[in-house]
Amino acid sequence: MEQVNNSLASFIENLKRRNPGEPEFHQAVTEVAEKIWPFIEAHPKYQENRIFERLTEPDRVVLFRVTWTDDSGQVHVNKGYRIQFNGVIGPYKGGLRFHPSVNLGVLKFLAFEQILKNSLTTLPMGGGKGGSDFDPKGKSDSEVMRFCQSFMTELHRHIGPDVDVPAGDIGVGGREVGYLFGQYRRLANEFTGTMTGKGLEYGGSLIRPEATGYGTVYFAQNMLATRNQDLKGKVCTVSGSGNVAQYTAEKLIELGASVVSLSDSSGSVHMPDGLTTEQLEYVMDLKNVRRGRIREFADAFGLEFRAGKRPWDIKCDCAFPSATQNELEEEDARALLANGCFVVAEGANMPTTLAGTKLFEEAKILFGPGKAANAGGVAISGIEMTQNSMRLQWTREEVDNKLKEIMKNIHGKCVKYGQKDDYIDYVKGANVAGFVKVADAMLAFGVV
Ligand code: NDP
């Protein structure tokens, strides 16, 4: 039976009961709820209108079958999803993830985070996310193409430039966006900015591939500036070796920091002397073109490969988790703190567990949660939509300057709502700042 929640505990209990078997969604909402609840209690209009309960129930979930044939003619069936979570401040916006771990709960957590993240960017974008349990690893280009075409054959009915604008995420990069957008254009018979992360030849924005990684580093710069420090000479661990990790590493090197690790799902590589530009070029070719494993990078340069290990036990000043959710657990957080790490900027979505986050908060380090730190990616997706609507393309410098400005503004909002006596609670700041705009729009719309 539906119940009114008079306390945070009863809210969480009811959320779990209403959404069984979705631990990542419970985790994402719990993190937000713990920070927002006192704010809601202090502002009864949100409580009386049950805004937070409404915010945790998606507008709609589209679930569909994706059938495709492999190169040998065998038929495969995957699940396809699009979660249109909240659209009160703009068209649904959020990436598509192709990974075997994708399920409803994972996508609901990502779409829920996306609502507040998109709100923080100040751009008019609602929150959505989608994807499939399809695994692109080991598939030929033509298999990936057939899968993408089949996926879009259903999805195209549910999206559009003013309705829902998907982008990439894990397993969905330039190649996949090309196939998906190509099929969308063919079916809809229109050329609109219905997907972002597009190639430069067909409506993409300069700096979009770099935006999440660069933006995360700009956010870290802003956090460090509150302690009169910068990234020059800082030792940085980075996890992952995909889109976000690559451009995080590139910007860190450019700013004079030393990148001492990269990883993938099979293990991590330690570069005690710091990643060089030549090595990064090798990693980009390995991961984006040859689609190989990070171990090959270690072997090619005589570096230590740590099979099955994350990089968090490597001594560093700053950590940039840039692979996936829950990749930084309590013991990892403990190891980072013991080694003197005092900056954690989340390039990935929810990479730190709730227990890890609590440790960072207790230690009062500079901890930038994903929905603030990695918001540069979706912000430049928003800028890609703007350019598509205006039918023009801004220069690299113009877009990079916008990215810097947006990350500075997001940082400023986190400080506004998260400043405590002796430290900045960026988790609270990001959650409250993101919430207020969406909540006020929901109030304006009445009970819908
Ligand atoms: P990519 O697919 O380009 O790269 C993902 C990287 O993470 C790969 O190195 C991959 O290794 C590793 N990885 C994936 N799953 C796991 C796992 N279960 N355990 C360990 N490592 C894993 O994705 P992105 O770089 O685009 O995304 C990385 C993170 O950043 C995600 O959390 C995503 O949601 C977030 N993000 C991405 C944005 C974007 O613009 N792309 C925007 C904002 C956030 P392997 O190759 O072995 O799978």
What secondary structure does DSSP assign to 110-158, as a single string?
HHHHHHHHHHHTTSS-EEEEEEES---TT--HHHHHHHHHHHHHHHGGG
| Structural domains counted in the chain | 2
| Interaxial angle between packed helices 426-445 and 104-120, expressed in degrees from 0 to 180 and rounded to the nearest 10 | 90
In a domain? residue 326? yes
Same domain? For 96 and 165 the reply is yes
Give the rounded distance of the alpha carbon of 96 from its chain centre.
11
Catalytic residue list: 129
CA of 388 to the centre of ligand 1 (A): 27
Q: Which residue of 102, 115, 264, 383 sits with most ligand 1 atoms within 8 Å of its CB, as the best mutation to test the pocket?
A: 264
Residues present in the chain in total: 448
The atom number, within ligand 1, closest to the CA of 245 reads 25
Residues 239 and 310 in one domain: yes
Report if residue 26 sits inside a domain.
no
Counting Cβ atoms within 10 Å, is residue 113 exposed (0-12), middle (13-18) or buried (19+)?
Answer: buried
User: What does each of the 448 residues of the chain score in pLDDT, given as a tens digit?
Assistant: 455 677 899 999 999 999 999 999 999 999 999 999 999 999 999 999 999 999 999 999 999 999 999 999 999 999 999 999 999 999 999 999 999 999 999 999 999 999 999 999 999 999 999 999 999 999 999 999 999 999 999 999 999 999 999 999 999 999 999 999 999 999 999 999 999 999 999 999 999 999 999 999 999 999 999 999 999 999 999 999 999 999 999 999 999 999 999 999 999 999 999 999 999 999 999 999 999 999 999 999 999 999 999 999 999 999 999 999 999 999 999 999 999 999 999 999 999 999 999 999 999 999 999 999 999 999 999 999 999 999 999 999 999 999 999 999 999 999 999 999 999 999 999 999 999 999 999 999 999 9
Report the alpha-carbon distance of residue 16 to residue 181 in Å, rounded: 36
State the helix-helix crossing angle for 294-301 and 277-284, rounded to 10 degrees: 140
Residue to substitute in 98, 133, 324 for testing ligand 1 pocket (most ligand atoms within 8 angstroms of CB): 324
State the Cα–Cα distance between residues 368 and 182, nearest whole angstrom.
36
Report the atom number in ligand 1 closest to the C-alpha of 97.
34
CA distance 404 to 390: 22
Do 246 and 296 share a domain, yes or no? yes
265 within ligand 1 shell (Cβ under 6 A) = yes
Atom number in ligand 1 closest to CA 173 = 3
Do the bridges between strand 258-264 and strand 267-270 make them parallel or antiparallel, or are there none, so unpaired? Answer: antiparallel
Same domain, 179 and 120: yes
CATH number at residue 74: 3.40.50.10860
Give the span between the Cα atoms of 413 and 409, in whole angstroms: 6
Ligand 1 centroid, distance to 140 Cα (angstroms) = 20
The answer to whether residues 242 and 175 belong to one domain is: no
Q: Specify whether the CB–CB gap between 424 and 414 falls below 8 A.
A: yes
Distance CA 195, CA 375 (A): 17
The pLDDT score that the predictor gives to residue 4 is 62
- 374: Cβ below 6 Å to ligand 1? yes
Q: Sign of the C-alpha dihedral, residues 432, 434, 439, 444?
A: positive
Residue 393, in any domain of the structure: no
Residues 185 and 216 in one domain: no
- Taking the CA of residue 244 as reference, the ligand 1 atom at the shortest distance is 25
pLDDT number for residue 344: 98
Q: Which of 373, 396, 419 is the last residue of a domain?
A: 373
In a domain, 379, yes or no: no
Burial 299-334 (b: 16+ CB within 10 A, else e): eeeebebbeeebbbbbebbbbbbbbbbbbbbeebbb
Is there a contact between 212 and 377 (Cβ–Cβ < 8 Å)?
Answer: yes
**Same domain assignment for residues 235 and 315:** yes
pLDDT at 6: 76
User: Does residue 308 sit in the same domain as residue 251?
Assistant: yes
Q: What is the rounded distance in angstroms from the CA atom of residue 44 to the CA atom of residue 38?
A: 11
* Domain closes at, from 338, 353, 373: 373
What is the CATH classification number for the domain harbouring 279?
Answer: 3.40.50.720
131 and 177, same domain (yes or no):
yes
CA separation for the pair 429, 431 (Å, rounded): 6
Q: CA 137, 141, 144 angle in degrees (round to 5)?
A: 65
What is the whole-number distance in angstroms between the Cα of residue 101 and the centre of ligand 1?
12
Q: Give me the half-sphere count of Cα atoms (radius 13 Å) on the Cβ side of residue 70.
A: 12
Residue 400 resides in a domain: no
Q: Are both 103 and 249 inside the same structural domain?
A: no
> Nearest 5°: phi and psi at 129?
-165, 155
Q: Which domain holds residue 145?
A: 60-189
35 located within any domain: no
353 lines ligand 1 (CB under 6 A): no
pLDDT in tens, 380-438: 999 999 999 999 999 999 999 999 999 999 999 999 999 999 999 999 999 999 999 99
* pLDDT for the residue numbered 327: 98
* Residues 218, 341 within the same domain: yes
**Under a CB-based contact definition with an 8 Å cutoff, are residues 213 and 251 in contact?**
yes
Task: Assess whether 226 and 172 both reside in one domain.
Answer: no
**Which residue spans within 219-370 are E strands per DSSP?**
235-238, 258-264, 267-270, 304-307, 318-320, 343-345, 366-368
Q: Is 377 in the pocket of ligand 1 (CB under 6 A)?
A: yes
